């Protein structure tokens, strides 16, 4: 079960999100040098059924299924920030981490390597620039983690193709 983390992550409050996508632009500009939502490590998903926008981002999980799935051990936890990171030199672009992430937190770069939120070294730009504070860099409680996981899983379920 989910327990309270002893380190900070990006805590998202979808009800506060206006869908402005400033977070996507801030991330892509900071990480890639261009304003391009497709090159961001955070993606805002419009959840039509509920009438809200949900910023989807890596949760830097305690058990990190992406790290467990990586066949070359390119995913590890940073000792200082506690962020789950990808060593791009080791990454082979197999997409195993992307397949097991329940939050859509891992994507493939234009260079064929997997990329994800690295918390900007402990000072995330998306949280600093979010005008409504829908994204905050904070220590989440167990209750908040459980509620956010529930929302994220519902959103991901509506996005999966049925067949």
- Inside any domain, residue 4: no
Range of the domain at 130: 9-158
Which position has the token pair 């402990």?
122
Q: Is 154 helix (H, G, I), strand (E, B) or coil?
A: helix
By the 10 Å C-beta count (0-12 exposed, 13-18 middle, 19+ buried), 72 is classed as exposed
pLDDT tens digits for range 101-128: 988 899 998 889 999 999 999 999 999 9
27-62 tens-digit pLDDT = 999 999 999 999 999 999 998 888 889 899 998 988
Structurally, the chain folds into a number of domains equal to 1
In a domain, 104, yes or no: yes
Catalogue the E-assigned strands of 48-93. 52-56, 75-77, 84-86
Which phi and psi (to 5°) does residue 11 adopt?
-100, 125
Residue at 124 is within a domain: yes
The per-residue pLDDT for range 75-92, each reduced to its tens digit, is: 999 999 999 999 999 999
Q: For residue 29, what is the DSSP state?
A: H
CATH number at residue 113: 3.30.70.20
Is residue 3 a part of any domain in this protein? Answer: no
Decide if 139 contacts 5 (C-beta within 8 A). Answer: yes
């Amino acid at each position: 079960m989910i327990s309270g983390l002893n380190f900070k992550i990006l805590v998202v409050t979808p009800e506060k999100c206006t869908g402005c996508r400033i977070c996507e632009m801030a991330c892509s500009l900071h990480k890639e040098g261009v304003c391009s939502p497709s090159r961001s490590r955070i993606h805002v998903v419009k959840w039509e059924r509920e009438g809200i926008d949900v910023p989807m981002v890596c949760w830097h999980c305690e058990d990190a299924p992406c790290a467990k799935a990586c066949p070359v051990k390119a995913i590890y936890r940073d000792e200082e920030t506690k962020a789950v990171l990808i060593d791009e030199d080791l990454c082979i672009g197999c997409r195993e981490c992307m397949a097991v992430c329940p939050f859509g937190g891992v994507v493939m770069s234009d260079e064929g390597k997997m990329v994800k939120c690295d918390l900007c070294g402990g000072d995330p730009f998306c949280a600093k620039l979010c005008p409504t504070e829908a994204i905050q860099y904070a220590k989440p409680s167990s209750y908040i983690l459980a509620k956010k996981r529930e929302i994220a899983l519902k959103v991901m379920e509506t996005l999966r193709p049925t067949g």
